[in-house]
Structure 1
Amino acid sequence: MATILMFGATGQVARCLLDRVATTGHVITALSRADVDLMDEKAIAEAIASAPDNAIVVNAAAYTAVDQAETDQEAALAINARAPGAMAQACAARDLPLIHISTDYVFDGNKSDAYVEDDPTDPQGVYGKTKRAGELAVLEGLPNAVILRTAWVYSPYGKNFVKTMLRVGAEREELGVVDDQLGCPTSAHDIADGILAVIDHVPVSDRVGGLYHLAGTGEASWADLADAVFEMSEARMGRRPLVKRISSDAYPTPAKRPANSRLSSSRFEMQFGYRAPHWRDSLQSVLEALSSAEASA
């Protein structure tokens, strides 16, 4: 059984990994920002220095407020770039494996098909730039770290697009949703399963370490995803809000979103033997979990 030290105890991926670990027998210590200040590189190093000799470090923490990052650049850089770099250096000093979560926002979104790991990066906003800087800092400090790029994350926890659609859909008969951005909706529980697949391969060799994409199977626009949420929730809601498909120009945001966020996860599947379910199947599971939680509240 693995011993896991995880940064980012309250995020979607972290909470879903805690769910999964509860049934595996792995031992996990989840550190929140109250436990370790991610803007304090010394505190990060001390946390890793005190970890057990067989620990596997997972960084599920990030500054994910994409629009807010445009005006809060220092905090985004500290949490998304400097903190992962400090983790990598501390792991290297202890010879501990590190699994780090990154994002599709490292790409410009102009490619016509799904991105692979070797495609050139060109982040368009502060969030993407700081996450790319974090990737580089991790690989510089610990070349055999495993970096998992994912996209369009949703879960029963925290704030995410699926939960927003349910909330807004309960109040409106019609919603305008962007239809010219494509991606791979990804359940955080599926990311957690992917992390456990990596852990099954520890110790991680130089051959296994590096960049991987881990996203839901299939593709969708945001409008497609919203429509699926309402389709699958119609019986519970007693109605189905209409999704009005709009362009990105009709919904301007401070940070530019990639028009194409599709990620090919083939390399991850070949290396670690795990493929995320189709996003519609995972969406159904998340909606059922939300419905059960609502019923028991």
Structure 2
Amino acid sequence: MDVAPALRGLFASLRRWRCLWPCLLTVACATTSSNVRIPTLQEQCEGGSSSSCEAWGQQLTVDHRTEEADRAFGLACAMGANSSCLEQGRLRMERGDLDGAEPPLRKAYDDDLEEGALALAELQEARGDAVGASRLRWEALAIDKSTVEVALGWRILWQGGLGAGLDINVQPMGLGARRLTLGANLSFEDQAASLNATVGYQHFVTNWMAPYARVLVGPYLGSQRNPLNLGAEAGVKFFAGPVGHLGVALGTSFDGSTYTVIEAGLDWVLALVVLAHM
């Protein structure tokens, strides 16, 4: 038997099969892909995906299938998607179901969502409660702001020199819808330090700007100056929703010092995160 021709034939066959492998793999992949079915938005929603419920609800709304959209938004709302609570409430208001619209809108409001407060105000207005609607719009200006802020301030003393201040401000909705503030302040200036309690008022002109004033009272720490510090500040804060604020103010103390303060405040949780990564 002639071995050489047989080997040449074998190698030629192997080369032909090697050329066919990409084609065979492509067919196999195509066959596998065609057998994989992507779940529908409804299936993903019923499987626990709030974003899929919301997308499904939007799709149903476009198709004018409002009752099914109501159900989809309701599922997303129950999973904590406040935007879906708003959509469900608005759909029900459009259908004239004011009582049915209140629970999802109330949930968005209770979660400190500005749009939730405004939508609930529209509901109260539709019921003829102008006073309730007005109060909700007043609350909406401040509802999404942080309840507890940590603020760091830099003081420019008019008599020369620099100082600093560290504040913890508490401004819950229960205190005049975050208009009244209580806090503690630690100030350093001119080789003296004071630990103060603070009481203030901030007037929300818009949802991002609030002129404010506060008084500070507390003892000087380790100083031969007056044993008690009494001061006041007046300025304006610029808010970034629940994140925090930037502020600038003029301040003065009973001992005659006057200063300009520039401060940055952060929600206390964000402040802890920043400190943890320093």
**TM-score bracket for the superposition, by shorter chain length:** under 0.3
* The structure with more strand, counted as a fraction of residues: 2
Please give the TM-score of this superposition, normalised by the length of structure 2.
Answer: 0.26
Please give the TM-score of this superposition, normalised by the length of structure 1.
Answer: 0.25
Q: Which has the higher contact order (CA 8 A, sep 6+)?
A: 1
